[in-house]
Amino acid sequence: MELDARRLTDDSILDTDLCIIGAGPAGIALAREFVGLDIGVLLLESGGWDSEEWPQALNEGAVAGDHYTGLRPTRHRQVGGTTGIWNTPVRGESGAKYVPLDPWDFAPPRSKMATGWPIEREELDPFYRRAQIICALGPFGYEARDWATPRRPALRMSGDWLVTRAYQFGVRRPFATIYPRQLRESANVRLCLHATACRLIPDASGARVVEARVAAPTGRWHRVRATTFVLAGGAIENPRLLLNSGLGNDLVGRCFMEHPRDHALTLHPAAPELFTGAGFYDAHPAADGTIVGGRLALSERAILDAGHPNASLTLLPRLRAESPPSGVAGRLARRLREMAAPAPREGYGWSKLRDPARCFDAFRILVNLEQRPHPENRVALGEERDALGMPRPVLHWHWRREEQEALVRLRALLVSALESAGLGRVEVDSASPADPNAHHHSGTTRMARDPRNGVVDAEGRVHGTRNLFVAGASVFPTAGFANPTLTVVALALRLADHLKAGAMP
> Which residues in the chain show pLDDT less than 50?
339-346
Do 150 and 193 fall within a single domain?
A: no
- Domain annotation covers residue 151: yes
Helix (H/G/I), strand (E/B), else coil: 130? helix
Which of 287, 291, 341, 299 shows the shortest CA–CA distance to 316?
Answer: 341
- Residue 469's pLDDT is what? 98
Helix, strand, coil content of the chain in percent (nearest 5) = 30, 30, 45
How many C-beta neighbours within 10 Å does residue 343 have?
Answer: 11
- Residue 31's pLDDT is what? 98
User: Which domain covers residue 242, as residue numbers?
Assistant: 1-86+172-260+373-399+440-505
Do 155 and 221 fall within a single domain?
A: no
- Domain annotation covers residue 121: no
Domain final position from 391, 414, 433: 433
What CATH number is associated with residue 461?
3.50.50.60
- The CA-based dihedral angle spanning residues 73, 77, 83, 87, taken in that order and rounded to the nearest 10 degrees: -30
Do 303 and 387 fall within a single domain?
A: no
Q: What is the DSSP string of 422-467?
A: TSEEEEE-TTPPPB--S---B-TT-B-SSTTT-SB-TTSBBTT-SS
Q: How far is CA 111 from CA 107, 115, 308, 402, 404, in A?
A: 12, 9, 12, 10, 14
> What's this model's pTM, rounded to 2 decimal places?
0.94
- Residue 334's pLDDT is what? 60
pLDDT digits (tens, 9 = 90+) for 217-240: 988 999 999 999 999 999 999 999
Q: How far is CA 283 from CA 87, 94, 131, 170, 266, in A?
A: 14, 14, 21, 11, 20
- Residue 345's pLDDT is what? 42
Reply yes or no: is the peptide bond before residue 174 cis, omega within 30 of 0. Answer: no
Do 351 and 408 fall within a single domain?
A: yes
- Domain annotation covers residue 99: no
- Residue 231's pLDDT is what? 98
User: What is d(CA 130, CA 110) in angstroms, rounded to the nearest whole number?
Assistant: 31
- Domain annotation covers residue 463: yes
- Domain annotation covers residue 114: no
Do 378 and 483 fall within a single domain?
A: yes
Do 416 and 287 fall within a single domain?
A: yes
Number of domains in the chain: 2
Do 457 and 481 fall within a single domain?
A: yes
